[in-house]
């Protein structure tokens, strides 16, 4: 009997539909936490890297991945956590960066601060706090529209 299984390319597409639980406008693929998708004999192995050590969202991400794959008929899966190399904001996709800004979160920049306000696009911004709504974000404010916003810190 010949059995077929989903290709890894197809699985990447499915995983691109799994939203990040903390920032639901981007997928776990766009966030860059999915590091590898591979078949190990008859087990589908998904390798993930947390955005930072101890990230509480990783258990939800793992469950959401397993749920999506089970919905697609893949029940023999294994989620493998890989902490090295450490996740970096360089792994955010271009689409993910664009969606972050549309959502009101300034995407990370190597220069160490947001380029502009994600709301009104003003360049006149200031840091309020190094700590934002999650450990991977800082709180900034636009001096033009006076709106506060999260900035996704470079890691």
Q: How many domains does the chain have?
A: 2
**Is residue 82 domain-resident?**
yes
Task: Looking at the structure, tell me whether residues 112 and 77 fall in a common domain.
Answer: no
pLDDT, tens digit, 9 for 90 and up, residues 68-98: 999 999 989 999 999 999 999 999 999 999 9
Asked whether residue 97 is domain-assigned, the answer is: no
30 with 74, same domain? yes
One domain, residues 67 and 121: no
Residues 76 and 116 in one domain: no
The pTM of the full predicted model, rounded to 2 decimals, is: 0.86
User: Which class for 111: exposed (0-12), middle (13-18), buried (19 or more C-beta within 10 A)?
Assistant: exposed
Structure confidence at residue 3 (pLDDT): 47
Mean pLDDT of 43-50: 96
The answer to whether residues 21 and 55 belong to one domain is yes
77-81 and 137-142 strand pairing: unpaired
Instruction: Decide if 99 is inside a domain.
Output: no
């Amino acid at each position: 009997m010949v059995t077929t299984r989903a290709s890894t390319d197809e699985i990447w597409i499915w995983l691109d539909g799994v939203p990040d639980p903390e920032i639901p406008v981007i997928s776990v693929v766009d966030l860059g936490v999915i590091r590898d998708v591979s078949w190990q004999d008859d087990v589908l192995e998904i390798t993930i890297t947390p955005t930072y050590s101890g990230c509480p969202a990783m258990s939800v991400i793992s469950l959401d991945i397993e749920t999506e794959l089970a919905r697609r008929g893949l029940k023999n899966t294994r989620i493998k956590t890989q902490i090295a190399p450490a996740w970096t904001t360089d792994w955010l996709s271009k689409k993910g960066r664009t969606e972050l800004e549309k959502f009101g979160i300034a995407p990370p920049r190597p220069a160490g601060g947001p380029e502009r306000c994600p709301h009104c696009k003003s360049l006149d911004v200031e840091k309020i706090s190094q700590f934002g709504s999650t450990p991977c974000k800082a709180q900034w404010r636009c001096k033009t529209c006076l709106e506060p916003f999260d900035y996704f810190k470079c890691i």
